[in-house]
Amino acid sequence: MNNESLRDVYVGGVGMIKFGRYPEENVATLGAQAVQLALADGGMQLNDIEMMAAGCLYQTNMIGQKILKEMGMTGIPVYNVANACATGSTAFREAYFAVGSGAYDIALAVGVEQMGKRGLLGGITGDPAYSPEGVMGTGTMPGVFGMAGLEHSRQYGTTIEQFAQVSVKNHEHAMANPLSQYQVRVSLEDVLNARMVAYPNTLYMCCPTGDGAAAAVVMSKEKAKQFSRELIKVAASALTTDPYTDRVLTFPDVNTMTVNAAREAYEQAGVSPQDLNSVELHDCFATAEVLHYENLQLAPKGEAGRWVDEKLTDLAGPQGDPRWTPVNTSGGLLSKGHPIGATGVANICEITWQLRGQAGDRQVPDHKAGMAHTIGLGSACAVHILTK
Amino acid sequence: MTSDTATEAKPGLRPIVDYLIMPNENSVEGAYLRGLQCKSESCRTVFLYAPTRRFCAVCNGKDEDQFSTVRLSDEGEVWVYTVVHQSWPGIPTPFVGGIIDVGVEGDAEAKVAVRANIVGVEADPKNLRMGMKVRGKAAVAHKDKDGNDVVVWHFEPA
Ligand SMILES: [Zn+2]
């Protein structure tokens, strides 16, 4: 995609509720809370919003309108978006286009999900007696991402300990994020000895299910100057699906669409991987994060395992090393949580806070550029780059 | 899954996927996997058989007669695997799920990936190896609620 014909778009306000479990709430009341946080953060009113894109995967039906019925029915156009785990990112991208096209000056993206203790995802619909799940392999997410990790082991010798270390790191990062669903410090032994879900992913290497909501307001430069304390630019917005690759119709390819989206995002932004100060990437499973170091060009092909060993993506890693790029400072999906529709927008919140220097004890010093990445199987991959 | 109530089909053997073909009505003997191979010379991609596939997902081939029906080899090689310890209610664990590359009879170049269980070994990574040779066969897995014997295709170490 060529974004040169679009005008520049800026993040004007962000907000998210603490991810967790809210059985007494519903998707509209959760979403409305996040929207109010983003409006307050940007110093604006609901009346200032001209267009809204709402993402929710499991209760898609008119979710944006339901949110407005909770907080203010202003009559604006609303788009409802579902795009697997890239749902929130896709809503953000629609808001980006609404402003980038010049049609609107201020647009709102909100992502929300209420999953409760939903447990496993994927592999089955209905009665297992009629499903190939469990008798002809597996399509459950832990299984698919377990196999994707072993594919990397097969090619490059990546070890189970290296995958597990990602979980240790992201749980540690979350200790500094009060909005994280879990704030639990875990050791490598804890992760390796936890209950096996699907080899090599143990319980701590699988993201939790939960409830959550996040919102972001985007706007033109003029409006951003009017409302915002600091100009945070959406420098790139890329969205891809699977191209045909070997085995993809049988075994989801979690790599190629990420490679393609990242390449396009770097081109759009005119930014190189070395310029990124932090990355929020889609660590739905610990194995996935390792693969994406290479897919997003943070590490050379085959060296993701070494990146783990040298703590090059760890907030507590070697700051002076030019290869150091902290990944998932928020705690990532593994600890912060993954209420599906909210995830992509929550990533935008984290990068925005990092750019503004508002990330508290998890702040990356001198933060000038960050990336937010989500993928959903089936397939959709979104990559955004924010700069100041 | 849905039986025609007008004819009241008797319970029998029911393959769990469309690409598992059973020439014998009363036995798994002779069962095999079927593929569809794109006839476009520059493509030749093999898909797992689906009676409704009309177009080639690789080259966009859309001829009336785009695909040859091909028989897939019983022999395969494990590309990747996982050992599943947690699944949906009603699905026994642990089991070994794999992605198996199989060949195509009559085309030495072609391959297609099959998702299947690997059986005949204890469900432990120490018994499994990516690249290991396996042999596929049909077997009855369980009964469904209509009284059918559900037939699956799985692989054993060769
Ligand atoms: Zn073709």
Q: Helix or strand or coil: residue B7?
A: coil
Instruction: Report the share of chain A in percent with pLDDT over 70.
Output: 100
Interchain contact B129–A (C-beta under 8 A): no
Nearest to B82 among A136, A154, A199 (CB): A199
pLDDT band at A125 (very low <50, low <70, confident <90, very high): confident
Tell me what pLDDT residue B25 has: 87
> Is A56 considered catalytic here?
no
Distance B63 CA to ligand 1 centre (A): 10
Distance from CA of B15 to the nearest CA of A (A): 10
DSSP run (H or E) holding A344? helix A340-356
Q: Give the A window 180-199 contacts with B, CB below 8 Å.
A: 195-199
pTM of the shown model:
0.96
Q: Please give the angle made by the CA atoms of A148, A151 and A155, to the nearest 5 degrees.
A: 145
Contacts of B89 in chain A (CB under 8 A): 128
pLDDT score of A230 more than 70: yes
CATH entry 3.40.47.10 includes domain A10-118+207-387 = yes
Interchain contact A159–B (C-beta under 8 A): no
In 3D space, the residue among A114, A279, A377, A122 whose CA is nearest the CA of residue B97 turns out to be A122
Average pLDDT, chain A: 96
DSSP run (H or E) holding B14? strand B13-15
pLDDT score of B2 more than 70: no
Question: What residues does each domain of chain A span?
Answer: 10-118+207-387
| A329-368 tens-digit pLDDT | 999 999 999 999 999 999 999 999 999 999 999 999 999 9
Q: Please report the beta strands in chain A, taking only residues with DSSP state E, as ranges in sequence order.
A: 10-16, 51-55, 78-81, 106-114, 196-198, 201-202, 211-219, 232-240, 278-280, 369-376, 380-387
Interchain contact A124–B (C-beta under 8 A): yes
pLDDT score of A228 more than 80: no
From B117, which residue of chain A is nearest by alpha-carbon distance?
Answer: A137
| A240-278 tens-digit pLDDT | 999 999 999 999 999 999 999 999 999 999 999 999 999
Distance A125 CA to ligand 1 centre (A): 30
CB distance A280 to A347 below 8 Å: yes
Tell me what pLDDT residue B3 has: 46
pLDDT band at A1 (very low <50, low <70, confident <90, very high): confident
Average pLDDT, chain B: 94
Interchain contact B14–A (C-beta under 8 A): no
Tell me what pLDDT residue A247 has: 97
Contacts of A129 in chain B (CB under 8 A): 90, 142-145, 150
Interchain contact B37–A (C-beta under 8 A): no
Tell me what pLDDT residue A28 has: 98
Catalytic residue among A338, A367, A373, A384: A338
Q: Helix or strand or coil: residue B131?
A: coil
Q: Average of pLDDT values for A48-77?
A: 96
In 3D space, the residue among A180, A148, A151, A150 whose CA is nearest the CA of residue A377 turns out to be A148
CB distance A181 to A208 below 8 Å: yes
Q: Please give the angle made by the CA atoms of B54, B60 and B61, to the nearest 5 degrees.
A: 65
Contacts of A198 in chain B (CB under 8 A): 82-86, 97
Q: Do the chains contact at B112 and A250, CB–CB below 8 Å?
A: yes
pLDDT score of A97 more than 80: yes
pLDDT score of A167 more than 80: yes
Tell me what pLDDT residue B1 has: 45
